């Protein structure tokens, strides 16, 4: 299997380790909840701080359509751009062990996975298959699917050579305890603050109805016990459509010496037409008996309709373009909390360099 598919699978696998922490940093844990429900969420968050190991299974699906519209905007029409792209991956019974005492952040965790997956929509570069890998003591081991030979390379070198050093998530910083390494996507307040808005502007936007929400869902029986379910959601459509957002754009345009900012208000009015859908939803299930998080589902939905915006400005002569649509779903199940045995380095593994 080519290294590109292996790198994609590793990104997914590393991302899985973030979600117990992401669940507690998504937003105000008590947002929209009763006092009793808030105590449940706080208890689960406290348990996350105690987590040293778990076994995980996951299913991942990412689909992106309207790519020809996107390539047309970038001036690459006619160069064989695909219309749609789909990435799928799944794995079962995969151990993860955390060692916060390790001096090297890359050696602060160990994990093993057999990941089945595919990348389709790329034409001749479509790929599918199974990737087996182990991470132990800061070394990334991968098994050649044809020969069965295990090969090893320092994890930091693999991340760099796979083009993952610039990921929005910094694994090293995260493992040192810096939750800011997850980027602003996990925290809407940080996302707004990172845009350069004043604290007053951020506070005004955070109160927009429908921008952030959290609800308790129906309890469920899962993994041998009752589960409390909670859903957190960030929806950018109400934000962009709000009067608070429009007022901030108008004020920014009025106070700026940049001539291009004069159009900011007009652009802001068109954004709700451009972004037909844009939300991130996180649902987690908490064990009623042990208060561990046992399942996390993350969904992202984005629909950008350039034709709607151009139609509003250009009338019937506006070009027809398919909306750009992104759908992402990651369903993770966690078990054997603090009772998972650490994986070991594969026997007979050979160390190598990425260029070899």
Give the pairing type, strands 150-154 and 139-143. Answer: antiparallel
pLDDT in tens, 55-70: 999 999 999 888 776 6
Q: Is the predicted pLDDT of residue 259 greater than 50, yes or no?
A: yes
Distance CA 78, CA 80 (A): 6
Q: Where are the domains of the chain?
A: 3-351
- CA–CA separation, 323 vs 246, rounded Å? 24
Where residue 229 falls among pLDDT bands split at 50, 70, 90? very high
How many whole angstroms separate alpha carbon 258 and alpha carbon 243?
A: 23
Residue 318 has pLDDT above 60, yes or no: no
Q: What is the C-alpha separation between 132 and 114, in angstroms, rounded?
A: 4
Instruction: Give the global pTM.
Output: 0.80
- pLDDT of the residue at 43: 94
CB atoms within 10 A of CB 319: 11
**CA–CA gap between residue 339 and residue 53 (Å, rounded):** 7
Give the β-pairing of 324-335 and 53-65: antiparallel
Answer yes or no: are the C-beta atoms of 268 and 247 closer than 8 Å: no
Give 101's DSSP letter: T
pLDDT at 278 over 50: yes
CATH number of this structure's domain 3-351, picked from the four choices 2.60.40.1510, 3.30.390.30, 2.50.20.20, 3.40.190.10? 2.50.20.20
Q: Could you report the per-residue pLDDT of 80-106, keeping only the tens digit for each? A: 556 788 989 999 999 999 887 888 888
**Which of these ranges, 76-85, 154-163, 177-186, has the smallest mean pLDDT?**
177-186
Which residues contact residue 322 at a Cβ distance below 8 angstroms, ignoring those fewer than 6 apart? Answer: 65, 66, 68, 69, 83, 307
Helix then strand then coil, in percent of the chain rounded to 5, is 35, 35, 30
The answer to whether 229 touches 221, Cβ cutoff 8 Å, is: no
Angle in degrees, 0-180, between the axes of helices 243-255 and 264-274, rounded to the nearest 10: 150
DSSP 183-236: -GGG-HHHHHHTTT--HHHHHHHHTSTTTEEEEEEEEEEETTEEEEEEEEEEEH
263: left (phi over 0), alpha (psi -120 to 50) or beta: alpha
DSSP state, residue 342:
P
CA dihedral 303, 306, 307, 313 (to 10 degrees): 140
- Distance (Å) of CA 20 to CA 51, 158, 313, 353: 9, 25, 45, 33
Query: Which has the higher per-residue pLDDT, 210 or 169?
Result: 210
């Amino acid at each position: 299997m080519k290294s590109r598919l292996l790198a994609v699978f590793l990104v997914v696998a590393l991302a899985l380790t973030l979600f117990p922490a992401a669940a507690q940093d998504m937003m105000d844990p008590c947002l929209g909840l009763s006092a009793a429900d808030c105590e449940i969420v706080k208890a689960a968050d406290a348990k996350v701080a105690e987590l040293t190991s778990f076994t995980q299974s996951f299913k991942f699906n990412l689909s992106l359509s309207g790519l020809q519209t996107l390539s047309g905007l970038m001036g690459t029409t006619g160069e064989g751009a695909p219309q749609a792209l789909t990435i799928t991956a799944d794995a079962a019974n995969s151990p993860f062990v955390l060692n916060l005492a390790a001096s090297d952040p890359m050696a602060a965790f160990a994990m093993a996975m057999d990941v089945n997956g595919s990348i389709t929509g790329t034409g001749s570069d479509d790929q599918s298959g199974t990737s087996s890998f182990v991470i132990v003591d800061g070394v990334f081991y991968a098994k050649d699917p044809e020969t069965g030979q295990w090969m090893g390379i320092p994890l930091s070198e693999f991340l760099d050579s796979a083009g993952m050093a610039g990921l929005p998530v910094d694994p090293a910083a995260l493992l040192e305890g810096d939750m800011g390494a997850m980027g602003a996507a996990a925290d809407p307040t940080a996302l707004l603050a990172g845009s350069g808005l004043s604290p007053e502007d951020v506070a005004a936007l955070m109160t927009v109805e429908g921008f952030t929400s959290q609800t308790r869902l129906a309890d469920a029986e899962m993994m041998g016990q009752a589960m409390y379910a909670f859903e957190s959601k960030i929806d950018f459509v109400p934000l962009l459509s709000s009067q608070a957002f429009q007022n901030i754009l108008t004020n920014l345009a009025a106070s700026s010496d940049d001539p291009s900012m004069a159009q900011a208000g007009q652009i802001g009015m068109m954004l709700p037409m451009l972004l037909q859908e844009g939300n991130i939803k996180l649902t987690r299930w908490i064990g009623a008996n042990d208060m561990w998080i046992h399942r996390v589902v993350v969904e992202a939905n984005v629909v950008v309709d350039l034709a709607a915006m151009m139609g509003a400005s250009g009338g019937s002569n506006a070009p027809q373009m398919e909306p750009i649509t992104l759908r992402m779903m990651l369903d993770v199940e966690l078990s054997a909390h603090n009772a998972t045995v650490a994986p070991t380095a594969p026997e007979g593994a050979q160390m190598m360099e990425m260029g070899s």
